[in-house]
Chains A and B, each alone.
Chain A
Amino acid sequence: MEFTERELWAVIHGLVLGTLFLLAFGGGLAGIYSLKERYLTAEGLAERSPRLLIGTSVMAIVAWLTVLTGTFIVYPWYRAAPPKGTDLTNQAVLGDFPRSWLLASDKTSEWHNFGMEWKEHVAWMAPFLATAVAFAVIYYGAQLARRGEIRRAVMIFFTLAFLAAAAAGLFGAFITKVAPVS
């Protein structure tokens, strides 16, 4: 029972960081939604603010780590080109080259042409959006409870960050299932 180096990085990128991101999103969204003055006492606000700050900051950091490991460590293995002269229409000889393997057949090419093309780009919006959210929470702290329009904007950006990451994560999981980096 062991992983290759490539499989280990794929697990760190997709499963470990992805799970952390989902956990931080769930906790963060619930925290932001319920951060309303009428719901909370002063003690309640003081108790929740650090947790919210940690949740949104973790989500932003994890989003950056996920796209950095995905783009600069795992992705080059995915798009590695087979040696010159390799038959690019024969999937049987392309097992070590996931991108080429997918493109070798009409039955699998859309996993790259649609799935990977979207995933590799849309994922990068998650850290931009999550960082803006974390900044808003750090900047306002407990005062966010008194700024309804900003709290709503934070929830919308937080959700968009999640959707971008979810789209990327979903296609990442499917593509890894069809053509694993190994």
Chain B
Amino acid sequence: MQDNQTKPNGPVAAAFVAAGIGSLVLGIFVVLSDAFTGINDFLKFDAHYGLGSGVGPLSGKVVLGTLAFVVSWVVLHFYARGKEVDFGRWFAVALILVFAGFALTFPPIFDVFVNLLKPAA
């Protein structure tokens, strides 16, 4: 319920969900990088774009995760600014995204997805 004496909660909800999106995108690229050599090569932003030297595919994963965080934050901020949203629902979505991201970076879990996705040799 809105507290009339405080600012609307939309922008904060947007920031929380954006952090979740950044986490999930990072986790997805962790899996894809290990599962597909083509994506692994694509993620070598250090070699392709000079972002760091010797960082390897981690450079692409963190750049794309950060971009996902920033871009989704901007988009969601403009959608939610000035609005009082159902914060509980937005935060639940943010938590699900964050935990999915956590799970996809955890080796015993991401190995399961990598083995499922990896093309047969």
Contacts and interface: CB of A to CB of B under 8 A. Distances in A.
A156 B95 contact: yes
A75 B56 CA distance: 10
Given A67-B62, A164-B102, A113 B107 contact: yes
B3 A140 contact: no
Interface in B4-62: 5-7, 9, 11-12, 15-16, 18-19, 22-23, 26-27, 30, 51-56, 58-59, 61-62
Contacts, number: 106
Interface in B64-101: 65-66, 69, 87-88, 91, 94-95, 98, 101
Interface stretch (A11-19, A87-95, A143-151): A143-151
Given A146-B5, A164-B102, A136 B69 contact: no
A135 B13 CA distance: 10
Nearest to B61: A121
Interface stretch (A28-36, A51-59, A123-131, A172-180): A123-131
Contacts of B15: 131-132, 135-136
Contact of B55 (A72, A118, A131, A149): A72
Chain A, interface residues (CB within 8 Å), range: 35 or more
Interface of B: 3, 5-7, 9, 11-12, 15-16, 18-19, 22-23, 26-27, 30, 51-56, 58-59, 61-62, 65-66, 69, 87-88, 91, 94-95, 98, 101-102, 105-108
Interface of A: 67, 71-72, 75-77, 79-80, 113-114, 117-118, 120-122, 124-125, 128-129, 131-132, 135-136, 139-140, 143, 146-147, 149-150, 153, 156-157, 160, 164
